[in-house]
């Protein structure tokens, strides 16, 4: 074949610019058509499960095979879809402007050198079978581009995973691959004029098409990744906040915090939590003008969800919510999930959307997930409560063995000289033992607590003789005040053990109980030692925090124990609680 004729034909192709042989409009349009197909492929790929493989750390052979087939298909599609540009009248000699190298570049770029090489080699081989003067250049070039993109992956991307979806790097890699391909044309096509003509005609369209294709492909993937990441981050943040709230138990305050968190993180129109009587514990969002805390809401549906222990969804179109309180209630679709602990219903989580708003499938899944999370956390909190109560029983059921040994030692000394007193001490000790065996997490009166304390102190007084003085000042009208059992005796025991018993001078313990101006009861135990050092004594810490915890559990977190210590002067432990003389 005459090479002049060949070149002539090439330059006279339709679309070749009269200004320069480098610009060929027809070929550029042709490659854009291929790109359109590529976008569809990218989109489908980004929605498929195979996309997730790219984020995995270790892949199975079948995962590799799947990725190989996908990228090979993209690459081969480039060869198939490309129009052949005839270079001779009989059409036996032709070239292509195609997006074949994109498949190989992306394979190497996203999957590493092995995937890049494999896809490049097979796509190149396929191109070779199609023939034409650039068949050899196409074969070698496509293989090389896969490997080069793979090397880019090894050198840069493996350490900076987020750059994998950076379109600039993708464009650079695609352009580099295309230039390698064109360089190879010079090496494999003779004579030089023919090669130059081929390169001139195909370079610009190839560069434009392939770089835009690569950029758009990774951008589509990036969006999917970013969307997924943002959604996951938000869900995780919400889960963490919910768990934090439930650490302090499930009550109205927690419910209020929960609905606000869910609304802030999901932008669901209205979020509500009902208790086991189907009354609203907390609600936030639209419709709160006629839905109030304490009311019922969607009562029949909540009951149905609770009875059947399943999630109920009302989509708002085939099925509509009917508000019992207002004809103009905007809330039409709802998701109702029961909250159960140990199979017992504790309430329900309700998510609502208004009439014109789509209830996203994602939020439905999220709502079910959140309800599960809440149920599990409530269960956990219940177990912790049981554990704490068991620990408490164990703790208070133990008479301090050191105290017991010394008490018995005291009795054995007293019995030699004063049997009546020894007998009295033994009855006090027996009283203490009985108390510690009997009780649970009971509620008692201040009078009872003082009796318990006195029994303990009578033994301490016998032990320390004139080295210990007790001063009591109790307002008599407080004797019926209710409080948890076993709160006073541990405080007084501490005052001796960690306070006065460390003094070289006589110890004084003052016990005061009075009603302050704010109506609260203050019970103060003061020693003149000033030795309270919380960090140094974990044993003491457990006992005191147990007392504190039980007062808070009964009366609320604003009450409890406080300690005021002036080193070497005095330590005052104060129990603050409301005055309730009725049965709690």
Partner 1 sequence: MTINIILIDDEPLAQDELASLLERYDDFRIVARCEDVFSALRKIREHKPDAIFLDIIMPGQDGFTLLDYMAPEEHHPHVVVVTGGESDLAVRAYAEGVLDYLPKPIEEDRFDKAIARIRSQVSNPDVEALPYPDRMLEMIPCIFNSRIKFIKPEEIQYVRSDSRGIYVICADKEYYTELTLAALETKTALYRCHRQNLINLAWIDELIPLENGLAEIKTKSGDKVPVSRHYLKLLKKRLGM
| CA neighbours closer than 13 Å in the CB half-sphere of residue 207 | 14
Choose between 158 and 421: whose C-beta lies nearer to partner 1.
421
Strand partners, 321: none
Calpha distance 234→97 (Å, rounded): 45
For residue 217, give the nearest of 392, 71, 95, 423 by alpha carbon.
Answer: 71
Question: 158: which residues sit within 8 A by CB, 6+ positions away?
Answer: 112
Choose between 286 and 406: whose C-beta lies nearer to partner 1.
406
User: Cβ of residue 345: shortest distance to partner 1, in angstroms?
Assistant: 49
Choose between 58 and 417: whose C-beta lies nearer to partner 1.
417
Choose between 371 and 468: whose C-beta lies nearer to partner 1.
468
Q: Can you read off the two tokens belonging to residue 550?
A: 């039980």
Question: 299: which residues sit within 8 A by CB, 6+ positions away?
Answer: 278, 324
User: Residue 256: exposed, middle, or buried by beta-carbon count in 10 A (0-12, 13-18, 19+)?
Assistant: middle
Choose between 80 and 408: whose C-beta lies nearer to partner 1.
408
User: Cβ of residue 490: shortest distance to partner 1, in angstroms?
Assistant: 18
User: Cβ of residue 465: shortest distance to partner 1, in angstroms?
Assistant: 4
User: Cβ of residue 380: shortest distance to partner 1, in angstroms?
Assistant: 35
User: Cβ of residue 383: shortest distance to partner 1, in angstroms?
Assistant: 32
User: Cβ of residue 563: shortest distance to partner 1, in angstroms?
Assistant: 19
For residue 390, give the nearest of 258, 230, 546, 180 by alpha carbon.
Answer: 546
CB contact burial 404-436 (16+ within 10 A = b; e otherwise): eeebeebbeebeeeeeeebeebbebbebbeebb
Whole-number CA gyration radius for the chain: 41
Choose between 386 and 568: whose C-beta lies nearer to partner 1.
568
Question: 508: which residues sit within 8 A by CB, 6+ positions away?
Answer: 468, 469, 470, 471, 500, 527, 528
Residues contributing to the site for partner 1 (CB under 8 A): 401-402, 405-406, 408-414, 416-417, 462-467, 501-505, 568
For residue 109, give the nearest of 74, 76, 62, 82 by alpha carbon.
Answer: 74
Residue 301 in 3-state DSSP?
helix
User: Cβ of residue 427: shortest distance to partner 1, in angstroms?
Assistant: 17
User: Cβ of residue 396: shortest distance to partner 1, in angstroms?
Assistant: 19
Choose between 70 and 529: whose C-beta lies nearer to partner 1.
529
User: Cβ of residue 529: shortest distance to partner 1, in angstroms?
Assistant: 8
CA dihedral of 473, 479, 481, 484, whole degrees rounded to 10: 80
H or E segment and range at residue 308 = helix 299-308
Choose between 308 and 412: whose C-beta lies nearer to partner 1.
412
Residue with tokens 């001063």: 471
Choose between 498 and 550: whose C-beta lies nearer to partner 1.
498
């Amino acid at each position: 074949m005459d090479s002049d004729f060949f070149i002539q034909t090439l330059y006279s192709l339709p679309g070749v610019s009269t200004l320069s042989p480098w610009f060929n409009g027809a070929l550029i349009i042709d490659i854009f058509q291929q790109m359109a197909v590529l976008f569809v492929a990218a989109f489908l790929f980004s929605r498929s499960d195979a996309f997730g493989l790219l984020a995995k750390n270790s892949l199975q052979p079948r995962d590799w095979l799947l990725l190989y087939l996908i990228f090979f298909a993209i690459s081969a599609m480039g060869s198939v879809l490309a129009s052949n540009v005839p270079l001779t009248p009989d059409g036996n000699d032709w070239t292509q402007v195609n997006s074949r190298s994109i498949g190989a570049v992306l394979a190497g770029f996203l999957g590493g050198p092995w995937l890049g090489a494999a896809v490049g080699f097979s796509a190149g081989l396929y191109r070779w079978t199609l023939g034409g003067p650039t068949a050899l250049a196409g074969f070698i070039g496509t293989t090389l581009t896969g490997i080069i993109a793979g090397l880019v992956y090894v050198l840069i991307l493996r350490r900076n995973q987020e750059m994998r979806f950076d379109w600039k790097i993708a464009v650079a890699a695609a352009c580099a691959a295309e230039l390698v391909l064109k360089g190879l044309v010079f090496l494999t096509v003779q004579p030089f004029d023919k090669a130059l003509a081929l390169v001139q005609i195909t370079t610009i369209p190839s560069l434009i098409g392939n770089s835009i294709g690569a950029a758009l492909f990774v951008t589509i993937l990036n969006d999917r990744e970013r969307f997924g990441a943002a959604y996951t981050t938000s869900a995780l943040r919400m889960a963490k906040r919910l768990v934090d709230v439930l650490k302090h138990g499930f009550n109205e305050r927690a419910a209020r915090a929960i609905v606000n968190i869910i609304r802030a993180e999901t932008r669901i129109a209205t979020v509500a939590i009902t208790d086991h009587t189907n009354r609203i514990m907390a609600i936030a969002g639209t419709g709160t003008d006629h839905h109030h805390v304490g009311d019922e809401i969607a009562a029949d549906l909540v009951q149905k969800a609770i009875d059947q222990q399943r999630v109920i969804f009302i989509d708002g179109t085939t099925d509509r919510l009917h508000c019992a309180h207002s004809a103009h209630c905007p809330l039409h679709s709802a998701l109702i999930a029961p909250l159960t602990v140990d199979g017992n219903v504790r309430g329900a989580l309700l998510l609502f959307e208004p009439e014109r708003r789509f209830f996203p499938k994602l939020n439905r899944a999220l709502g079910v997930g959140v309800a599960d999370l809440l149920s599990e956390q409530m269960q956990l909190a219940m177990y912790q409560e049981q554990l704490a109560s068991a620990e408490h029983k164990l703790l208070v059921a133990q008479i301090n063995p050191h105290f017991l040994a010394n008490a018995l030692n005291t009795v054995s000394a007293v019995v030699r000289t004063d049997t009546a007193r020894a007998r009295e001490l033994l009855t006090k000790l027996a009283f203490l033992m009985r108390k510690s065996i009997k009780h649970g997490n009971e509620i008692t009166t201040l009078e009872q607590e003082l009796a318990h304390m006195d029994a303990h102190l009578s033994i301490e007084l016998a032990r320390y003789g004139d080295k210990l003085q007790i001063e009591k000042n109790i307002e008599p009208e407080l004797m019926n005040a209710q409080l948890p059992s076993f709160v006073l005796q541990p405080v007084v025991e501490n005052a001796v053990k960690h306070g006065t018993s460390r003094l070289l001078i006589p110890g004084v313990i003052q016990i005061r109980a009075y009603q302050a101006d704010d109506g609260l009861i203050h019970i103060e135990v003061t020693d003149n030692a000033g030795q309270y050092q919380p960090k140094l004594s974990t044993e003491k810490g457990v006992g005191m925090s147990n007392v504190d915890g039980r007062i808070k559990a009964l009366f609320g977190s604003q009450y409890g124990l406080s300690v005021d210590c002036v080193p070497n002067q005095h330590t005052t432990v104060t129990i603050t609680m409301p005055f309730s003389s009725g049965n709690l």
